[in-house]
A and B are shown apart, each in its own frame.
Chain A
């Protein structure tokens, strides 16, 4: 399990990296944390002509607040996010989700941009990006563009980013003060990709739900917003009956696939179970 030969470049700037991507015309791969890409190389399932290593671009690692958003440089490590005070204050859902990402030595290397661009539908960050209605910034030869979560994920391991673009920033709207949140995940072992995960954000006013956001991991080829289930809560409030109805609706909204770990039916069923649990736990921490 040794990787095939490749050219290696470690540019110091995004512009330099873009130039390299252009030079290899789609045959180069970006190397971020490498926690998914390097295993693929070791298995020789990926044989790029070149690796463009983003790890030397210091300007891509930051967490800052701007205009009601928390903006994270694509190369911000998961371990940094786990302990970042701004994330803890403004994006408690992201912080919780980070603890579900792999294991400690994965998070020291893994990056938010890499995880999102890899677009594994069972991963936590794509679900969080979806639930929080976040955006990513892609920079290419023609400049920068902003892509919303809904427009980003195409199918398994595939995004709408062009081969000559680099995901440079992740933008997540700060969660409203008092919002409740939860990430419920079921995996066969601790640290595995989710069989099903549900990210939930609940904003309440008394028993009324002013805003519900629900998104899946593991329930299909892309992370899915469970809008119809959210609407039930926003319409019918946060009583047990509404939560049950939303959970039922959630399980109807997904079209999961089967793999060796779980059947499609089980995943569909778990979607409902975990939606209910996520809403209830989010409700428990929501104020308002």
Chain B
């Protein structure tokens, strides 16, 4: 089947079987390997991207379902050659070690902050509990999201 979609503002068209997982389409057909595969059953969250602005797990969506959708992946977070404030905060607060969960973590946090721009620490923990990280003990991640929230609130 033909899939036409926009990823990070760029239009793409590809052909694939209906059973092709969206994450595999992104990685294999579009060469966007920033989105990672961690469990293929919707638990670890490493493959989380934005589908029409909302965080979703691309390992439990089919590419054909994204026909006509606008997606954002980790490759599309930078603006004008600069890291997004959330990326910057992850760097500043050691919110990543191996970096494998990081793309999913960033996009989940982004959607979380969109609907909760001034979260408490407990809310941040709940928000990012959608993504499993085995390196950081989540400490740096929570600090980074806290800092990014403050940064993004500043006009």
- In the complex, the answer to whether B111 meets A1 with C-beta atoms within 8 Å is no
Interface size class of A (residues with CB under 8 A): 20 to 34
User: Which of A84-92, A101-109, A145-153 lies on the face that meets chain B?
Assistant: A101-109
Q: Is A61 an interface residue (CB 8 A)?
A: no
Q: Is B144 an interface residue (CB 8 A)?
A: no
- In the complex, the answer to whether B111 meets A108 with C-beta atoms within 8 Å is yes
Nearest CB of chain B from residue A32's CB, rounded to whole Å: 11
1/0 per residue, CB under 8 A from B, across A66-95: the answer is: 000000000000010001000000000000
In the bound assembly, the distance between CA atoms of A106 and B43 in angstroms comes to 9
Tell whether A42 pairs with B130 under 8 Å between CB atoms, given A6-B18, A7-B18, A35-B60. Answer: no
Secondary structure call for the A interface: loop
Nearest CB of chain A from residue B124's CB, rounded to whole Å: 12
- In the complex, the answer to whether A79 meets B17 with C-beta atoms within 8 Å is no
Q: Is A5 an interface residue (CB 8 A)?
A: yes
1/0 per residue, CB under 8 A from B, across A30-42: the answer is: 0000110011011
- In the complex, the answer to whether B60 meets A39 with C-beta atoms within 8 Å is yes
Nearest CB of chain A from residue B112's CB, rounded to whole Å: 6
In the bound assembly, the distance between CA atoms of A38 and B24 in angstroms comes to 14
In the bound assembly, the distance between CA atoms of A3 and B130 in angstroms comes to 23
Tell whether A103 pairs with B115 under 8 Å between CB atoms, given A1-B40, A39-B41, A53-B65. Answer: no
- A–B Cβ pairs within 8 angstroms, 19 of them: A1-B40, A3-B21, A5-B17, A6-B18, A6-B19, A8-B18, A8-B19, A34-B60, A35-B42, A38-B60, A39-B41, A39-B42, A39-B60, A103-B129, A105-B130, A106-B42, A106-B130, A108-B51, A109-B57
- Residues on B lying within 8 angstroms of A by beta carbon are 1, 17-19, 21, 24, 40-42, 45, 48, 51, 54-57, 59-62, 64-65, 108, 111-112, 115, 125-127, 129-130
